[in-house]
Every structure is written in structure tokens, then in C-alpha cells.
């Protein structure tokens, strides 16, 4: 079974600074997707960024970028120029790319990101 580990229960960063959230995963598969979801206090799950395992290039979405190291099974999220609105729980998630395509996401336990004004 796949597992996702987020070793940082909480991180704090000054507004406008850069912060990196860590995620590692365990799988014996070679084709899969990785995601970062943000959960603000409203508790809605919002997709931040996604990475296909077959792509070597790291995904980027504006201030958000990932460092995907497939051999190390590592998938960290970097947030540049942190803003107060970035404060939330961040969940790393894994999904197998299977023929049926309906596999669920496996989530990590989350990292609570605090932005200091």
C-alpha cells in the first residue's frame, strides 16, 4: 500500500519569505501523480499544484513550485513571497495512475503553515 509522510506538523514563516514543506511517499509503482492541496480554516480542499511522475520537469504555479525527486520519493512544496492568505493546512497526496483511473488519493497528515506578519 502507498503511504505519504509529511514530517513537519507545523511550519512558520515571515510574510514575504520563502518556505518549503516536505513530503515523502512510498510506492512500488512507476506511474503516478502527486498533488499538494491547501485546506484553509473553511476546510475546503483546494488544489495547489500537481506533478506527473513521468515528467522530469518540476511543476510551477505562480509562487508555488515543487521539487520532485523520483528516486528519493520526495515531493516538496516551495512557497515564495509568502502571503497571509497562504496560511492553511497543506496536504501532500498521491494517486496511482492505473488503467481504470478511479483510484483514490492517499493523503499525508498535513502541515499547518503559519504566516507571521
Binding site for another protein (CB under 8 A): 33, 35, 37, 42-47, 50, 91, 93, 97-98, 100-110
Task: For another protein, give the closer residue by CB, 80 or 97.
Answer: 97
SS3 assignment, position 66: strand
Closest CB 35 distance from another protein, rounded Å: 6
Q: Which residues of 9-27 are buried (b: 16+ CB within 10 A; e: fewer)?
A: eebebeeeeebebbbbbeb
Task: For another protein, give the closer residue by CB, 16 or 114.
Answer: 114
Amino acid at each position: 500500500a502507498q503511504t505519504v509522510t509529511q514530517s513537519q506538523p507545523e511550519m512558520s514563516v515571515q510574510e514575504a519569505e520563502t518556505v518549503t514543506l516536505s513530503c515523502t511517499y512510498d510506492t512500488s509503482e512507476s506511474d503516478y501523480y502527486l498533488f499538494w492541496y491547501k485546506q484553509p480554516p473553511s476546510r475546503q480542499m483546494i488544489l495547489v499544484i500537481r506533478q506527473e511522475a513521468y515528467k522530469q520537469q518540476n511543476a510551477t504555479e505562480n509562487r508555488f513550485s515543487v521539487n520532485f525527486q523520483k528516486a528519493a520519493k520526495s515531493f516538496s512544496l516551495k512557497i515564495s513571497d509568502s502571503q497571509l492568505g497562504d496560511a492553511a493546512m497543506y496536504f501532500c497526496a498521491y494517486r496511482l495512475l492505473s488503467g481504470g483511473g478511479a483510484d483514490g488519493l492517499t493523503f499525508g497528515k498535513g502541515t499547518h503553515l503559519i504566516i507571521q506578519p
